Amino acid sequence: MGAAWDAFRADPDWIKAKAETEADGPIVSEVISKMLSPTSFSPIKWGATLRIA
């Protein structure tokens, strides 16, 4: 997943959009990424991939 984020952050369109959006300063102070585990009663099972369209 790290390679995908690196590619996203290197995208020229993203770099331009980010610069325009943050012209008056950053809009977030911190980003935290966490992997969540399903509960025992969740319909999502371990190892399953959840896709949101």
Spatial CB neighbours of 44, under 8 Å, sequence gap ≥ 6:
38, 50
Q: What is the pLDDT of residue 49?
A: 63
Q: What is the pLDDT of residue 52?
A: 63
Question: Which residues span the domain enclosing 43?
Answer: 1-53
- Condensed to tens digits (0 to 9), the pLDDT of residues 1-53 reads 688 889 999 999 999 999 999 999 999 999 888 888 888 888 877 666 666 65
Alpha helix (H) ranges present in 1-53? 2-10, 12-21
> Given its phi and psi angles, is residue 47 left (phi above 0), alpha (psi -120 to 50 degrees) or beta?
left
Question: Is the overall model pTM greater than 0.75, yes or no?
Answer: no
Q: What's the total number of domains in the chain? A: 1
